[in-house]
Structure 1
Amino acid sequence: MSDPRSLTPEIKFRRGIGQAGGLVAIGVIYFALAKGGLALASIHPSATPIWPPTGVALAAVLLWGYRTWPAIFTAAVIANATTAGSVATAIAIATGNSLEAVVGAYLINLWSSGCNTFSTPNSVAKFALICFVIATPISASIGLTSLATAGYIEPTNFADAWVTWWLGDAAGALVIAPVIVLWASSNDYAFDRNEFLETVGVLATAAAVGLIAFSPLIEQSPSRNPLGFLAILPMLWAALRRGPRDTATVALVLAGMTIWGTLTGGGPFTTANLNVSFLLVLMFLISITVPSLLLSADVEVRKKAEERLRRAQIDLERKVAERTQQLELANAAKSRFFAMASHDLRQPLHALGLFVAQLRTPLKSGERTKTIEQIDATRKEMDEMFNSLLDISRLDAGILTPKITEFPIARLLQTIETRFDRATREKGLRLRVRRSDAWVRSDAMLLERILLNLVSNAVRYTLRGGVIVGCRRRGEMLRIEVWDSGPGIPEDQKQNIFGEFFRVPAPEPNRYGGLGLGLAIVDRLRLLLNHQIDLASTVGRGSRFAILVPKADECATSAEPVDSPRPTAFAVEGRVVLVIADAPMVQQGTAGLLSNWGYSVLTAGSDEAALVRLAEHQQRPDLIISDYHLASGTTGIRAIEQINAALGSSIPAILISGDTAPEPLRDANDRGYSLLHKPVDPMRLRAVMHELFRDHDNRRDTGAAS
């Protein structure tokens, strides 16, 4: 909205002329209607039962604000001064007329939704109450009091004049104001032929009923009097079908026909006393207008509620259809994933079987070493696949919480160079990692995972040329870029590659790495970290992925993770490890590995069997390693808690699971246990064991010292 102070003088002048013209128009209309109404006065020249100016004044203040009161006041002064009484009484009457409009509009704005007062039955009732009980008595009381004080009215006529004045103003407010307000604030700008014809029809019906029941064109007789009740029909039609605006308009048409007929001696309200006849007309008009407006508002509220329900239903159906489509796409994607996963996971398993078969045959020392290295490489390939599934599960479970620190990007670049140097050399590729001394603000582990996935993806799809990793400073951001000379990504696939289980066909046949989750993990992690990522790619020339990370001050204190201690830094002699697994081969494999590391190992298939073994050997374990899922539907968490309860102590524990669903992650996280996923890297298991032993020993030493 523009500041009025910034308007040019010409615009201000035009706006002022427009406002002045509006006030003049209101004053002229008010004056004309006032003179017409006063011409129908019979009980006193200033007390007329027909007073439409009240409705015009009330509508003007509601629509255009309180600044319209000078126009109302001036017109009322002129109209009354040129009719009867004195200038002083004219000013007093005009004061009452102005206060009537201003007070009525103020209360309607305060209590009854202002110009929206005809939108609900409750607000219509408040509008009628304000007009009938509070606003219109102000004008009658001030005006007649001033006339009586000046001696222009007999005390014996005061009561009749007051009632006439009051009902005339009340009818004007209740019949005239709604029509003006509703038409002025109408938002129905679109032309609808059917609605237009129905509006014309209901107005024509109201005019026809007025002619039949009230006009002087038909001779008045006792048998014609009941026809006045026909006025209810167009009012009901408008209230039920056309809304408050047309209902108020029909009431105005009937009011005009009734007043015309009564004035000329026609209709059921004609009596020997014209003032009494008009009072009967006013009560009739009020009695049909207010209930009809209440009914039309109620119908309008119900229509809007039905429309909202209809739109909500349409919206719900649309969302259900979208969700159904998403589920169908997800099912199709997972079906493709299972097909790919079945193939990709069988490849390394098949290779492992062949390598193991080679080990069963006599091999030279060099060949045996090479076969073992091939087995280890195949295991790592499988581990990468399972880690991708695990990352997706962790993100789905919502248990990854970024730990934002400030650290040098050089550390991550060194990790990338170390991790992929051998892989790129084996493929005949060049890996260039450009050094940078920049510091960034992010989660070091999650950012590392993003970069590892991007570089791994680049290495996987690049057959010749190489991969470049570097950084560019962009204001307050550091842009980390990964370039490759691979096949590139088609334009129509650039969005799809960030979806789960999606893979661009690999250029390298017989390649079994990857499940199509790497870039999906990248996309979720960058959203978690609120980092921007963009992609540029040309088919046949390669791709460039870039991620923007906030820079930090280079002198900031690094909160780098502490390196895991070397396994040899901890004494293992005398330490007892309890292994709980319901699969005998897992028990044997774990026990053999731990025994080679120097631990005393007890194995069991359940918590009950574990307690029996502990009782037989009369030993208390220093560590428990348990599968998450055990036989009979129990969990490793339950087994650990049972053993702790039986021994009356809290023993360090590690859970191992092949289930990548979110529930085991949440359960272990909630209870503070370490959870490793199968296949477990032996060095990772050893590092976690030593970390638990160290923490347990530190707590024990602290407790002993205190």
Structure 2
Amino acid sequence: MKKPSDPIAGSYDVGDLLGLGSQSARKSYYPALQDRIEELESERNRYKWLFENALHGIFQGDLKGGFLSVNPAMARIVGYDSPEHLSQRVIRLREQFFWQVSEFDQLRHELLAIGKLNVREVVLRRADGRPVNVAITVLRRPDLGVEVVEAFVADITERHQARLKLEQLNADLERRVEERTEALQNANVGLRYHIEEREKTERELTIAVNAAEEANRSKDKYLAAASHDLLQPLNAARLLVSTLQDSPLPVRESRLIEQVHRALEGAEDLLADLLDISKLDQHAMQPDLTNIDAYELVYGLAEEFDPVARAARLGFRQRLTNGVVRTDPRMLTRILRNLLSNAFRYTPSGHVLLAMRRRQDQLRIEVWDTGVGIAQEKLSDIFTEFHQLLPPESGGRKGVGLGLAIVERMARMLDCSITVDSIPGKGSRFVLTLPLEPAVNAQPGPVIAPVVASGSLEGSRVLVIDNEPAILVSMEALLERWGCRVAVAASAEAAVAVCRALSFEPQAILADFHLDHGRTGCEAIDTVRHALAAHIPAAIITADRSDLCRQTLQLKNLPVLNKPVKPNRLRALLSSLVSPSELPL
């Protein structure tokens, strides 16, 4: 008997007509379709795996409601246990998922207008009610609903915190700049009350203080101005004070003059350190390497510090040896001068030793003292800027903590090492190590050695050219105190006129480098020599410490002294100019 479900003989349903009457028929007649179905299923499973295991959050939701689907990463980002927990708890994206409703409204408005948003930073609400910063990319899916969207979310909490930390660091840096500027202003104010010519110096220091305030916006601009605006009046004041020191004065006035002298010395050291550290920071100071006889350079420094040792009533011993090194003599001199200055400054009693030792292919220059010493835990900090690690009872004139920072940077530029050993209460030893030049290359060049006062200047005829009236007054007073006959002028033409009017035949010329109207001291010297038809020995005195100025004067073969001028160096230089035995051939 035929079953009701059996097909009527001679009739076929749609599946039979299409060859889909049974699964076996489908497999038989449509193998390609079955393969495609399996590929789609495999692809679906792969996307499902990526959705569930993605590192970034992914969700599909309705802007008018809640989530349609969420992956586990999205739940982790906002602090929920599972995607299901998130979908159940958050039923309104606007109020429950976004930290600020206004931010959601803005995002929704832009999505409806342009259809997608790329990498927008927003703040979402975590399960515990705290905010979380994310970057979100959103696409509209109008095929699934008017306000259905798909979103990809990355947690940027670390990036946000790093940005906040950077902003804090910038604020701290600004505060440090303001504090340093305030300290510099205070130093300038204190200095102002100790200068002899009060009215003029106060006006110039007011300009300097205003420049220091401008340093809040540009420290380097201020320091460049300070090299001229401050060193010029300091130079005049220092020379006038030196003149007064050589004059017979009552005890009380002599004590006041000595205090002014010390204040000026402190200001000079401060400005020199600030200018050098600024040039080092800007990489504006480059070493000019040449072979030098280290013995000559160190011996010159020893002679320079002999008077310092006598004034401080300290013993000063030297143990020197020969050795040719390739270095910048100017920078090496500055390094050793800073080390020696510190040794004498912080040694209340005892002695200082300056020693040179050869160790195979190296030369060690050592500075020993019996001073207050440095605690072991602070040795690693002494070469840091603006660190004053010595105790207040150490005595002596204080700096601002830049001397050893300059030493360390210059030593690094010269490719030599600097080390220190110290015992509190017993003293310190600083060691500078330089490579010795092989004998075949050891041909020393000229050494820029320190100069010390020597010789009598009685009756010497000196012409001074400077465009600063205060400098002319102070130079004339000091040189006349030394017994010189002095003529002063503000320009080359005025100098020639003075010499002719007074029948003055100078034995030496001292000229400022920067004169009025863009003229230089080199041009003034040439003009005077030509007008008087004589090759008069000459030197340049300048506040310009740039490498360009130094190289220009080297080409002219003119000795140079930097302002503020130390009287003992000026006297030694002048003695060498007016003494025929020391003139170059």
What TM-score results when the alignment is normalised by the length of structure 1? 0.46
Is 1:45 paired with 2:16?
Answer: no
Match of 1:319 among 162, 166, 169: 169
What's the CA shift for 1:545? 1.9
Counterparts of 1:497 and 1:352, CA distance in 2: 33
The answer for the alignment partner of 1:486 in structure 2 is: 371
Counterparts of 2:79 and 2:116, CA distance in 1: 16
For CA contacts below 8 A with separation 6 or more, give which structure has more relative contact order: 2
Would you say the 8 A contact 1:381–1:513 is kept in 2?
no
The answer for the alignment partner of 2:289 in structure 1 is: 404
Structure 1 counterpart SS, 2:472: helix
Is 1:393 paired with 2:275?
Answer: yes
Is 1:194 paired with 2:78?
Answer: yes
Counterparts of 2:24 and 2:505, CA distance in 1: 109
Structure 2 counterpart SS, 1:560: coil
Is 1:504 paired with 2:418?
Answer: no
Would you say the 8 A contact 2:346–2:394 is kept in 1?
yes
Counterparts of 2:493 and 2:322, CA distance in 1: 57
1:649-693: CA deviation from partner (whole Å, max 9, x where unpaired): 9x9996645x5xxx7747846976867313254346548979xxx
What's the CA shift for 1:323? 1.1
The answer for the alignment partner of 1:559 in structure 2 is: 444
Would you say the 8 A contact 2:512–2:520 is kept in 1?
no
Would you say the 8 A contact 1:579–1:603 is kept in 2?
yes
The answer for the alignment partner of 1:525 in structure 2 is: 410
Is 1:586 paired with 2:476?
Answer: no
Percent identity between the two aligned chains: 23
Would you say the 8 A contact 1:344–1:512 is kept in 2?
no
How do 1:196-215 residues align onto structure 2 when only pairs under 5 Å count? 196=80, 199-200=83-84
Structure 1 counterpart SS, 2:348: coil
Is 1:459 paired with 2:344?
Answer: yes
Would you say the 8 A contact 1:453–1:518 is kept in 2?
yes
Structure 1 counterpart SS, 2:421: strand
Match of 1:678 among 561, 564, 572: 564
Structure 1 counterpart SS, 2:434: strand
Counterparts of 2:488 and 2:313, CA distance in 1: 47
What's the CA shift for 1:523? 3.0
Counterparts of 2:397 and 2:304, CA distance in 1: 19
Counterparts of 1:410 and 1:561, CA distance in 2: 12
What's the CA shift for 1:405? 3.5
Question: What letter corresponds to residue 326 of structure 1 in structure 2?
Answer: R
Would you say the 8 A contact 1:604–1:613 is kept in 2?
yes
Counterparts of 1:236 and 1:418, CA distance in 2: 80
Would you say the 8 A contact 1:433–1:470 is kept in 2?
yes
1:100-140: CA deviation from partner (whole Å, max 9, x where unpaired): xxxxxxxxxxxxxxxxxxxxxxxxxxxxxxxxxxxxxxxxx
Structure 1 counterpart SS, 2:288: coil
Match of 1:358 among 231, 242, 248: 248
What's the CA shift for 1:580? 3.7
The answer for the alignment partner of 2:129 in structure 1 is: none
What's the CA shift for 1:419? 3.7
The answer for the alignment partner of 2:431 in structure 1 is: 546
Would you say the 8 A contact 1:389–1:517 is kept in 2?
no
Counterparts of 1:667 and 1:436, CA distance in 2: 33
Q: Could you say if the C-alpha distance between residues 247 and 422 of structure 1 is closer, same or farther in structure 2, counting changes exceeding 3 Å?
A: closer
Would you say the 8 A contact 2:239–2:478 is kept in 1?
no
Counterparts of 1:566 and 1:420, CA distance in 2: 9
Work out which of the two has the higher radius of gyration on C-alpha atoms and give 1 or 2. Answer: 1
Q: Could you say if the C-alpha distance between residues 390 and 51 of structure 1 is closer, same or farther in structure 2, counting changes exceeding 3 Å?
A: same
Would you say the 8 A contact 1:433–1:469 is kept in 2?
yes
Question: What letter corresponds to residue 319 of structure 1 in structure 2?
Answer: L
What's the CA shift for 1:317? 1.4
Q: Could you say if the C-alpha distance between residues 482 and 638 of structure 1 is closer, same or farther in structure 2, counting changes exceeding 3 Å?
A: closer
Q: Could you say if the C-alpha distance between residues 393 and 463 of structure 1 is closer, same or farther in structure 2, counting changes exceeding 3 Å?
A: same
Would you say the 8 A contact 2:243–2:481 is kept in 1?
no
Q: Could you say if the C-alpha distance between residues 639 and 496 of structure 1 is closer, same or farther in structure 2, counting changes exceeding 3 Å?
A: closer
Q: Could you say if the C-alpha distance between residues 504 and 319 of structure 1 is closer, same or farther in structure 2, counting changes exceeding 3 Å?
A: same
Structure 2: gaps spanning 5 or more residues = 1-22, 58-72, 91-111, 125-133, 197-236, 455-460
Q: Could you say if the C-alpha distance between residues 496 and 616 of structure 1 is closer, same or farther in structure 2, counting changes exceeding 3 Å?
A: same
Match of 2:318 among 413, 427, 433: 433
How do 1:290-309 residues align onto structure 2 when only pairs under 5 Å count? 296=151
Q: Could you say if the C-alpha distance between residues 585 and 382 of structure 1 is closer, same or farther in structure 2, counting changes exceeding 3 Å?
A: closer
Question: What letter corresponds to residue 84 of structure 2 in structure 1?
Answer: V
Larger helix percent: 1
How do 1:100-115 residues align onto structure 2 when only pairs under 5 Å count? none
What's the CA shift for 1:337? 4.3
What's the CA shift for 1:451? 1.9
Q: Could you say if the C-alpha distance between residues 181 and 429 of structure 1 is closer, same or farther in structure 2, counting changes exceeding 3 Å?
A: same
Would you say the 8 A contact 1:429–1:467 is kept in 2?
yes
How do 1:131-530 residues align onto structure 2 when only pairs under 5 Å count? 172=43, 175-181=44-50, 186=55, 192=76, 194-196=78-80, 199-200=83-84, 296=151, 310=160, 313-334=163-184, 337-338=187-188, 355-358=245-248, 386=268, 389-390=271-272, 392-397=274-279, 398-407=283-292, 409-421=294-306, 423-424=308-309, 427=312, 429-436=314-321, 439-470=324-355, 478-491=363-376, 494=379, 495=381, 498-500=384-386, 502=388, 504=390, 511=396, 517-530=402-415
Structure 1: gaps spanning 5 or more residues = 1-36, 57-171, 207-231, 252-283, 362-370, 569-574, 699-706
Would you say the 8 A contact 2:452–2:572 is kept in 1?
no
Counterparts of 2:453 and 2:425, CA distance in 1: 47
The answer for the alignment partner of 1:20 in structure 2 is: none
What TM-score results when the alignment is normalised by the length of structure 2? 0.53
Structure 2 counterpart SS, 1:543: strand
Larger strand percent: 2
What's the CA shift for 1:481? 3.0
Q: Report how many aligned residue pairs link the two structures.
A: 445
Would you say the 8 A contact 2:416–2:432 is kept in 1?
yes
Q: Could you say if the C-alpha distance between residues 48 and 396 of structure 1 is closer, same or farther in structure 2, counting changes exceeding 3 Å?
A: same
Q: Could you say if the C-alpha distance between residues 547 and 340 of structure 1 is closer, same or farther in structure 2, counting changes exceeding 3 Å?
A: farther
What's the CA shift for 1:541? 1.7
Q: Could you say if the C-alpha distance between residues 342 and 403 of structure 1 is closer, same or farther in structure 2, counting changes exceeding 3 Å?
A: same
